[in-house]
Structure 1
Amino acid sequence: MNVRLKRARELAGYAVQLTKDEGLGTMLARGAGFVRRRCFGKKARYLPAKKVLEAQRAEMAGKNFENCQLSTISVLTPLYNTPEVFLRQFLDSFVNQTAPNGELCLADASDAAHSSVGDIVREYQAKYQHIVYKKIENKGIAANTNAAAELASGEYLALADHDDILAPHAMYTMGQAIRQLREAGEPDGFLYSDEALFTKKIEKPLVAHFKPDYAPDYLLCCNYICHLAVFRRELFEQVGGERPECDGSQDHDLFLRLIEQVGGAAHVPQVLYYWRVHEGSTSGGTDAKPYVAKAAKKALADHLERTGRTGTIEDGLYPSTYRVRWDIVGEPKVSILIPNKDHTEDLEKCLQSIWKKTTWDRFEVIVIENNSTDPATFAYYEKARQRYDGLKVVTYPDKGFNFSAINNFGRKAAEGDYLLLLNNDVEVVNGDWLTELLRQCAHPGGAAICGAMLWYPDETIQHAGIVTGLGGYAGHSHKYKKKGGSGYLFRTSTVQDFSGVTGACLLVKTAVYDEMHGLDEQFAVAFNDVDFCLRVRDAGYRIAWTPYAELIHYESKSRGGDEKDPVKAARFAAEQQRLYTIHGKENILDDPYYNPNLTRDREDFSENDDLRRLKEGRVTVRFRGGTLQ
């Protein structure tokens, strides 16, 4: 089926469901937002409305740096031969903040031919008290940033480049976010926001980087945090500031060291920083600064050493991305559970690919026979046992299809340290697929669950992680995307943190599976994997997904579509409702690893048709911890 047609059908289905759940008015409003975003102008779409900015200024009227009741933030900016137009735009963005809790600390390493940089700053200093300036010797970006930090008096520090622009509500929003964290008793040592790219004016942005909440595995693959990062000055001093030996990836290195101290990070889903795209800027790619990759690998290797973990740091699939090839601790055994009813051609393809290609040799395969009716199926099992050394076939004793109950039954026969739930209609692509799944789990601080990249036979993505809330319930990241791209912010080409992965290929620590009492058998067909993963996530474990384990999924060949059968459709609707009942609708619609400014109507990580939370300047913040050792 054509990809556009698939998406259109799924969108139409979602519109019908939305109308049933929330009424025609909500569906029409959502549809109007879609048309408005797609067909009309996008000017200033990430900025709060003028009345919101005016309200913030009115709230802060007559207040100053000391008494505005917001935490003070010193913005650290090294200057170096900054073009006048860039410098004035940057300085204007600071002095026009809606709240006065900011201090700008400028360390100027410009050469003698660019003395005008200092002249321009002094011009602004004459009008604005909280701009601190010092002329310094150029010792590199890290040392120059540290020199700026020596000028700071704020409780918090932030990093900004001399050619970029702060959003007008950056200081206000971060100050309010810090207040919210403190009131909730959450760690307030490290915060970051979303950002946008622009060329000339921030009112005409190119694209936004809408980030997930703190995602430790993702951060090891690329510096997705970037701007605007705000952190306690005492922590910055405690870790020794930025390290010159990591120049080029000095911020990535700093973030890792700060998070080691805080135990996680807080995310503010507002665009508070505008990153200028021009020749020589890292926003245009690391080709402009080839030393970045070397510095990033050092930062990551040092992080592993500090946190007591071992692995090799390698280049990722795309420039400016990286890969930790974790050392697997011990030789864990994996029990592969494959439910099967007839369809022996599919099963044979699956088994043959496992035995022929898999390089990890510590595994067992348990086929769970589920009410097959074709006599040839049982004859096939006998032959398969002879051809595939150690293959087990166990017979599920109950009638009907219940994916959860079948796998729970199969677990009783499993001897492995890990369980791998695997559909019978998948085929292994790369020989180290199982090794790569284990790499994400079988090391100190590893994930409890790991999922794989699943392709349709036409080389489009079937599964690259589960995002809850898509279509109202859950969907697959980047579904139908053609092979060959990196995904939104590298999210199909780097190891990721997700709220769930598909049960079609799901590796889980056996101890965790047992702790959760297995799959919930009241989810007979749908959402059993989503429910299981959410229970694991909410118990404090991490769920990872890797692009380095690849399989082809001949999806639903053995079971047909539920929507064409009234009985199956009713069961599917009941399981949808059960997902809401157990986990809460708001929780389902609020996936921490999916930004609220991205759409829930599609699976392509496109912008939300409704950016009201940005226009309203809505201040929300969420802290997430992450295992670092």
Structure 2
Amino acid sequence: MNVRLKRARELAGYAVQLTKDEGLPTMLKRGAGFVKRRCFGKRARYLPAKKVLEAQRAEMADKTAADCGLPTISILTPLYNTPEKYLREFLDSFVNQTAPNGQLCLADASDAEHADVKRIVEEYQTKNQRIVYKKIENKGIAANTNAAAELATGEYLALADHDDILAPHAMYTMGKAILQLRAQGEPDGFLYSDEALFSKSIQRPMVAHFKPDYAPDYLLCCNYICHLAVFQKALWDEIGGERPECDGSQDHDLFLRLVEKTGGAAHVPQVLYYWRVHAGSTSGGTDAKPYVAAAAKKALADHLARTGRTGTVEDGLFPSTYRVKWDIVGDPKVSILIPNKDHTDDLEKCLHSIWTKTSWENFEVIVIENNSTEPATFTYYKEARQRYDGLQVVNYPQKGFNFSGINNFGRQYASGDYLLLLNNDVEVRNADWLTELLRQCAHPGGAAICGAELLYPDETLQHAGVVTGLGGYAGHSHKYRKAGGSGYMFRAATVQDFSAVTGACLLVKTSVWDEVGGLDEAFAVAFNDVDFCLRVRDAGYRIAWTPYAQLTHYESKSRGGDEKDPVKARRFAAEQQRLYAVHGKANILHDPYYNPNLTMDREDFSESNDLRGLKEGRITVQWRGDASPSQAH
């Protein structure tokens, strides 16, 4: 089905359901709001409403950094031949903050021909005593940033470039977020916000970077944190500031060293920083600064060495992205569990691709026969066992289709260190698929679960990770996008942290499977994989997805669609409600690896049509941690 048509039908269905549940007036009101936001709400769409900013200013009226109640944040900004227009806009953005808890530390390495930089700064110092300035020798971005840090007196530090713009509520929001973390008893050493790109005015932003909560696997693939990052000065001092040997990726290197100390980071889903796009800016891509990639790979390799993990760091699938090829510890055995009912053509394609393409040799395959009715199926099993060395076929004793029960039964026959749940309607595409899944798990500090990239036969994405809350329950990241694209902020082309992955191809440590009790058999058909992954996530493990393991998925050939069969539709609805009952509706609708400013109506990571959280200046902060390699399960 055409994707646009599919979305239109889904939206129409939502309108009909809303009318039934809450009446026509509510539906019309929401519809009008949708049209208003969609068609007329683009200007300043990431900024809080004027009344929100005015309320913040009123709260902080006549207060100073010393008595405003917020921790002081010293912003570190190296200056170098900064164009006057850019410099004034940047300085204005600091002077016009809604709270006085900021300090601006400027280290000026401009050459003699750009003496105006100093003059302009001195002009602004007469307006704001919280601007401190020092003329320095140019020794590179990291050294110049370190020079700015020597001027800092705040409890916290932040990084800002000389040609960018701070959102007016940046210092207020980050200060309040730090207080929230303290009140909740959570670590307050390292926070970051969302950001937006602009070319001329922040009133007309080009696009926002709506980030997930702390995602350690993602951070190894690209510096998704960027701006605005805020961290304790004591931590900065402890790790020695930025490293000149990583100039070009000095911030990425800094963030990796910070999380080694903090064990995680806190995310504030507010756009607090505007990144200017112009020639020479890294926001426009790494072509402007070709040394960035070499510096990033050094930063990543050094991070691996410091954390006692081994692997090689390589370029990723796109510029600005990287890939850690983890060294697999030992020679783990993988037990591949494949439920099957008839459909021997599909199964043969699946088995043939496993045996002929898979480079990882230490595996076993267990086909779980589930109530096949065609005699030819059992003839096929006998013949297949002769052709595929070690193939097991075990008979599920219960009637009907229960994906959870079938796989739980198959686990009894598995001897592997890992279990791989695999649909019978998939076909292996690349030889390293199983190796790549293992790479994410079979090393110190690895994930407990890893999912693969599944493609439809027409070369569009079927699965690139599962996001809970999409469509109200769960959906597939970047579904229907053409294969080979980067996705949103490279999220379809880098190893990712997710709350869940599909059970159509899911690798899990056998010990973790046993620890959480396998699949919940009350989820017979739908959401069993989502429920399982959430239980694993909530037990303190990580779920990863990799684009380097690829399979073709001939989805739903085995069972057909559930939408038109009333019995199947009722079962599906019951399993939807069970997902809420077990995990809580609020928990399902807030996936930590999906930003609340992204749409819940589609699977394409597009911007939400409802940005009320931004307009209201709503301050929420979520800290997430990750077990260090020595503490990992």
**TM-score over 0.5 for the alignment?**
yes
Instruction: Please tell me the TM-score bracket, short chain as reference.
Output: over 0.9
What amino acid sits opposite 2:519 in the alignment?
A: L
Residues 196 and 205 in structure 1, CA contact (< 8 A), matched pair in contact too: yes
Give the secondary-structure state (helix, strand or coil) at the position aligned to 1:77: strand
Shift of 1:380: 0.3
Residues 455 and 553 in structure 1, CA contact (< 8 A), matched pair in contact too: yes
TM-score of the aligned structures, taking structure 2 as reference length: 0.98
Equivalent in the alignment of 1:206: 206
Give the secondary-structure state (helix, strand or coil) at the position aligned to 2:7: helix
Shift of 1:18: 5.2
Alpha-carbon distance between aligned partners in 1 of 2:255 and 2:58, rounded to the nearest angstrom: 34
Give the secondary-structure state (helix, strand or coil) at the position aligned to 2:441: coil
Shift of 1:28: 4.4
Establish whether residue 53 from structure 1 lines up as the match of residue 53 from structure 2. yes
Alpha-carbon distance between aligned partners in 2 of 1:117 and 1:181, rounded to the nearest angstrom: 38
* Cα 1:603/1:152, change in 2 over 3 Å: same
Q: Deviations over 1:157-182 (max 9, x none)?
A: 00000000000000000000000000
What are the within-5 Å matches in structure 2 for residues 515-594 of structure 1? 515-594=515-594
What amino acid sits opposite 1:626 in the alignment?
A: D
What amino acid sits opposite 1:225 in the alignment?
A: I
* Cα 1:319/1:20, change in 2 over 3 Å: farther
* Cα 1:474/1:598, change in 2 over 3 Å: same
Shift of 1:526: 0.3
* Cα 1:157/1:22, change in 2 over 3 Å: farther
Residues 422 and 503 in structure 1, CA contact (< 8 A), matched pair in contact too: yes
Residues 30 and 609 in structure 1, CA contact (< 8 A), matched pair in contact too: no
Equivalent in the alignment of 1:627: 627
What are the within-5 Å matches in structure 2 for residues 2-81 of structure 1? 2-17=2-17, 27-81=27-81
Shift of 1:39: 2.2
Give the secondary-structure state (helix, strand or coil) at the position aligned to 1:143: helix
Alpha-carbon distance between aligned partners in 2 of 1:384 and 1:580, rounded to the nearest angstrom: 42
Equivalent in the alignment of 1:405: 405
Of residues 32-41 and 81-90 in structure 1, the stretch that sits farther from structure 2 once superposed is: 32-41
Alpha-carbon distance between aligned partners in 1 of 2:115 and 2:267, rounded to the nearest angstrom: 38
Equivalent in the alignment of 2:186: 186
Alpha-carbon distance between aligned partners in 1 of 2:132 and 2:353, rounded to the nearest angstrom: 65
Alpha-carbon distance between aligned partners in 1 of 2:104 and 2:441, rounded to the nearest angstrom: 43
TM-score of the aligned structures, taking structure 1 as reference length: 0.99
Alpha-carbon distance between aligned partners in 2 of 1:428 and 1:7, rounded to the nearest angstrom: 30
Q: Deviations over 1:400-440 (max 9, x none)?
A: 00000000000000000000000000000001000000000
Alpha-carbon distance between aligned partners in 2 of 1:15 and 1:493, rounded to the nearest angstrom: 34
What amino acid sits opposite 2:105 in the alignment?
A: C
Shift of 1:31: 3.6
What are the within-5 Å matches in structure 2 for residues 329-478 of structure 1? 329-478=329-478
* Cα 1:288/1:29, change in 2 over 3 Å: farther
Residues 11 and 602 in structure 1, CA contact (< 8 A), matched pair in contact too: no
Q: Kindly report structure 1 stretches of 4+ aligned residues shifted beyond 2 Å.
A: 1-41
Shift of 1:127: 1.8
Alpha-carbon distance between aligned partners in 2 of 1:354 and 1:85, rounded to the nearest angstrom: 60
Give the secondary-structure state (helix, strand or coil) at the position aligned to 2:382: helix
Shift of 1:41: 4.5
- Give the aligned CA root-mean-square deviation in angstroms: 1.1
Shift of 1:563: 1.2
Equivalent in the alignment of 2:104: 104
Alpha-carbon distance between aligned partners in 2 of 1:12 and 1:375, rounded to the nearest angstrom: 45
What amino acid sits opposite 2:92 in the alignment?
A: D
Alpha-carbon distance between aligned partners in 1 of 2:25 and 2:292, rounded to the nearest angstrom: 50
Identity of aligned residues (%): 83
* Cα 1:491/1:379, change in 2 over 3 Å: same
What amino acid sits opposite 2:282 in the alignment?
A: T
Shift of 1:483: 1.6
Shift of 1:560: 1.1
What amino acid sits opposite 1:73 in the alignment?
A: I
Give the secondary-structure state (helix, strand or coil) at the position aligned to 1:440: helix
Equivalent in the alignment of 1:173: 173
Shift of 1:32: 3.4
Equivalent in the alignment of 2:116: 116
Alpha-carbon distance between aligned partners in 2 of 1:115 and 1:474, rounded to the nearest angstrom: 57
Alpha-carbon distance between aligned partners in 1 of 2:27 and 2:462, rounded to the nearest angstrom: 27
Give the secondary-structure state (helix, strand or coil) at the position aligned to 1:549: strand
* Cα 1:79/1:429, change in 2 over 3 Å: same
What amino acid sits opposite 2:381 in the alignment?
A: Y
Establish whether residue 486 from structure 1 lines up as the match of residue 486 from structure 2. yes
What are the within-5 Å matches in structure 2 for residues 116-155 of structure 1? 116-155=116-155
Q: Deviations over 1:526-567 (max 9, x none)?
A: 000000000000000000000000001000001011111111
What are the within-5 Å matches in structure 2 for residues 281-360 of structure 1? 281-360=281-360
* Cα 1:590/1:95, change in 2 over 3 Å: same
* Cα 1:3/1:208, change in 2 over 3 Å: same
Alpha-carbon distance between aligned partners in 2 of 1:165 and 1:110, rounded to the nearest angstrom: 20
Q: How many residues align?
A: 629
Equivalent in the alignment of 2:511: 511
Give the secondary-structure state (helix, strand or coil) at the position aligned to 2:275: strand
Shift of 1:93: 0.1
Give the secondary-structure state (helix, strand or coil) at the position aligned to 1:32: helix
What amino acid sits opposite 1:454 in the alignment?
A: L
Residues 195 and 208 in structure 1, CA contact (< 8 A), matched pair in contact too: yes
Shift of 1:26: 5.6
Equivalent in the alignment of 2:614: 614
Q: Deviations over 1:126-158 (max 9, x none)?
A: 121100000000000000000000000000000
Alpha-carbon distance between aligned partners in 2 of 1:599 and 1:627, rounded to the nearest angstrom: 30
Give the secondary-structure state (helix, strand or coil) at the position aligned to 1:563: coil
What amino acid sits opposite 1:134 in the alignment?
A: K
Shift of 1:27: 4.8
Q: Deviations over 1:353-411 (max 9, x none)?
A: 00010000000000000000000000000000001000000000000000000000000
Residues 492 and 547 in structure 1, CA contact (< 8 A), matched pair in contact too: yes
Alpha-carbon distance between aligned partners in 1 of 2:447 and 2:100, rounded to the nearest angstrom: 42
Alpha-carbon distance between aligned partners in 2 of 1:322 and 1:459, rounded to the nearest angstrom: 24
Q: Deviations over 1:578-600 (max 9, x none)?
A: 00001000000000000000000
